[in-house]
A = this chain, B = another copy of it.
Amino acid sequence: MDTMTNLKGETGRDARRRIRAGAARLPTSGMAPGYVQGNLAILPKALAADFARFCMLNPKPCPLLGQSEPGDWRLPTLGEDLDIRTDIPLYRIWKNGEMVEEVTDLKGVWRDDLVSFVLGCSFSFEEALIENGLELRHQSCNSNVPMFRTNIECAPAGPFHGPMVVSMRPFKPADAIRAVQVTTRFPSVHGAPVHLGKPEMIGIKDIGKPDYGDAVPVRDDEYPVFWACGVTPQSVVATVKPEFCITHAPGYMLITDLLNSRLAVL
């Protein structure tokens, strides 16, 4: 399985091996269909307890799928052979809140005090929405999902605080109701929407000007539907300006051995 031509039967482990071998330095969307992909944040141990508590207090934007032991590059609950230093195609290195470098593995920068956090991402529930016959507008537009900073404050923990970031997908009313039902089943990957229509109520001034990602059209017979977004922890960490931290590069996710369908609580 060394090509992009047949990913249908690719497992999470297959995909990580391709990535680890340098054979897939690409965004991970579409790789290992059906397997959970996650956001990555790696922080020094001095910040780890507060960040873990921040995730616990804010499960909708920060659904924690895995947390490593300090200095350990393994995350066996997410993948038997998983090595967080090599299994993501592209990483970002941050120093004092500034992105200083993009790298394809972490072997040169690894430290014994680093703790890895893997957070659920919307790919999992988007797969379920598509299986339900719902259109994802940003996919139809071949663009990134639009994301907005809101006036919803996350519950603070130590130095970590800040507003929730949401992603937006437009749906007709009956489809919005179905989307609530479908995503409610997936609390570990952002779960149900946090808001629906009326963007001004959560501090969004212009639905046509997202803070991240690309604008998509919302038709007159549709509502913008808002889900808590994994960009929230990234934006919160950036505010804290840790002396050192690591994230995945946007779109280059960690592919796990978990099945999306098994994340459904029912």
Q: Which residues of A contact B (CB under 8 A)?
A: 172-174, 176-177, 180-181, 184, 192-198, 201, 221, 223, 266
* Closest residue of B by beta carbon distance from A172: B201
Q: Which residues of chain B have C-beta atoms less than 8 A from A197's C-beta?
A: 173, 197, 223
Distance in Å: Cβ of A180 to nearest Cβ of chain B: 4
Majority secondary structure of chain A interface residues (helix, strand, loop or mixed) = mixed
Asked whether B184 lies within 8 Å of A196 as measured between CB atoms, the reply is: no
B221 touches A193 (CB 8 A): no
- B173 close to A181 (CB less than 8 A): no
Taking a contact as CB atoms under 8 Å apart, the answer to whether A195 and B174 are in contact is yes
Q: Separation in Å of the A186 CB from the closest CB of chain B? A: 13
State in angstroms the CA–CA spacing of A197 and B176 once bound together: 11
CB <8 Å contact, B173 and A198: yes
Contacts of A193 in B (CB 8 A): 177
Asked, given contacts A201-B221, A266-B266, whether A173 binds B192 with beta carbons under 8 Å apart, the answer is no
C-alpha spacing A196/B266, complex, angstroms: 25
Number of copies: 2
Q: Which residues of B contact A223 (CB under 8 A)?
A: 196-197
Q: Which residues of B contact A174 (CB under 8 A)?
A: 194-195
Q: How far is the CA of A172 from the CA of B193 in the complex (A)?
A: 13
Task: Determine how close the nearest CB of chain B comes to the CB of A48; give it in whole angstroms.
Answer: 31
Chain B residue contacts of A180, Cβ below 8 A: 177, 180-181
A179, chain B: closest CB distance, angstroms: 9
Complex Cα spacing A99 to B115, Å: 74
| Cβ–Cβ contact A196 & B176, under 8 A | yes
Q: Which of chain B's residues has its CB closest to A184's CB? A: B181
Q: Which residue of B lies closest to A192 (CB)?
A: B177
Q: Which one of A177, A180, A198, A221 has the greatest number of beta carbons of chain B within 10 Å?
A: A177
Some 10 contacts from A to B, beta carbons below 8 A apart, are A173-B196, A174-B194, A174-B195, A176-B196, A180-B180, A181-B184, A181-B192, A196-B196, A198-B221, A201-B221
CB distance from A166 to the nearest CB of B (A): 12
